[in-house]
Structure formats: C-alpha cells, structure tokens
Amino acid sequence: MTFEFDHLFILTDIGASEANRLSSFGLVEGSSRIHRGQGTTNRCFFFHNAMLELLWIHDPEEAQSEPIHQTRLWERSTNRNNGACPFGICLRPAKGSEDTVAFSSWAYRPPYLPETMSIAVGTNSDVLTEPMLFQIPFGKRPDRYSADKSQPLNHGVGFREITRVELVSPAANNPSPELQAVLETNQLKLRIGTEYFVELGFDGEVQGQQVDFRPGLPLIISW
C-alpha cells in the first residue's frame, strides 16, 4: 500500500458545536489547534489509524491572504451551503513511499509549518464541487505519535480504526484526474447523491450499526 488515509476535515461554523454531538455519541475529543497564518482552527477526534477534523475559519483576512487563498478554503467554507463540497481528504505516504504524491499537486507552504516543509495540494483545488485533496509528508498513524503529541484513542463506543471513507456527492459522475487518482489508491470511495456527505466506517462495520449526524454535520458513521 503506497498511500494511507490520514484524515478528513469537515468545514463547520465557528466553534464547531457539532463536535459536542460526537462527544455525546461516545467519541473522546483530542486537542484542538489554531493554524497560525491560515486563519483556521479545529476540533479533532483521533483513532488508531486516522483522524476526523472539524475545521472553521476564525480569521477571514488570513484565509484570503497569500498563499492561503490558493487553497480556496475561504470560498469552500463560505459556499458550503451553496454547492461547494465542505470536505478535505488528506493522505499520507506509506513507509518507503515518502517521495511519492498520489495526484498532481502544488506545494503549499502555510506560515505554521517550518520553511523547509510543504503540503502537496491537488491541482484540482479550484474545483469546489470536489473535496480539497492534499498529502502531508509528515503524517503518521495517531497510535504512533510521540509521547509529547499523543492523543486520546480510547472511545466510549469502542472504535479503533477507520476502515471505510466514502464520499457522496452530486458531482460524483465526473471526477477530476486528481480525484480519480485518489480513488485509485483505494483509500476513498465515491458515489452519486443529491447532497454532500461522508460515510465513515469503523472496524470493518461488523456490528451493522449506523448513526446519521445530518443535518447538523454531513456525516454518517457505521460500525
């Protein structure tokens, strides 16, 4: 496996109050982060192999500055109830494949990263009907984080690993080459639907259970 699923972000209103529903459901919230210079803040839930991130823009000026505006995070956020896809899909290279990027990309260097480091952002970043695609060279499974960066991984509902990520999209019938390349990594599935949402499957979904967090959050969890 050359690539692994690292995390999903969902754009939300300021404060991501929807995270409270995930906590009530039985997920344990991890640490949040302000992305210095990018104008975004998050609330996160970590699992053994990947992470779910609720992301919002707290500083419109930063989000529209150089080089941040090239990500189209601002447009994606402000139009997420008007046809824009509210998701970002992040991959990480598997061990031994660190020099490979899954899709054609440009180098994004946000202020919160060291100058020598960049994030590979898909060249379809202007296509707001698709998720923002990006790959981080420094990504790791959360269960392999160093002690000083460790996150809570034991959830009341017992989830351990994300084993399915499926995007439902009105624009699914005509994926860009970049999105098609991600589909070919087998880390993401795509199907047509009347509205955007993501299904996250946990631990092989052997229990046959499902919870729908819509309309507040475009997310269905299956286990």
E strands present in 58-131: 87-93, 105-108, 119-122
Phi, psi of 66 (to 5 degrees): -75, 140
User: For position 203, what pLDDT does the model report?
Assistant: 99
Residues in CB range of 41: below 8 A, 6 or more apart: 32, 33, 34, 35, 55, 56, 58
Q: What is the pLDDT of residue 1?
A: 62
Which backbone phi and psi does 22 adopt, to 5 degrees?
A: -65, -40
- Report how far residue 198's alpha carbon sits from residue 24's, in angstroms, rounded to the nearest whole number: 20
Torsion of CA 23, 42, 189, 170, to 10 degrees: 100
Mean pLDDT value across the chain: 97
Q: Which domains does the chain have, with CATH numbers?
A: 3-222 (3.10.180.10)
Coil, helix or strand at residue 147: helix
Residues of the chain with pLDDT under 70: 1
Amino acid (one-letter) located at 141: R
**Spatial distance between the Cα atoms of 37 and 40, rounded to a whole number of angstroms:** 8
Can you give the pTM of this predicted structure? 0.97
Please write the tens of the pLDDT for every residue from 30-75: 999 999 999 999 999 999 999 999 999 999 999 999 999 999 999 9
Q: What is the pLDDT of residue 98?
A: 76
DSSP 18-60: THHHHHHHTPPP---EEETTTTEEEEEEE-SS-EEEEEEES-H
55 has which bridge partners?
11, 42
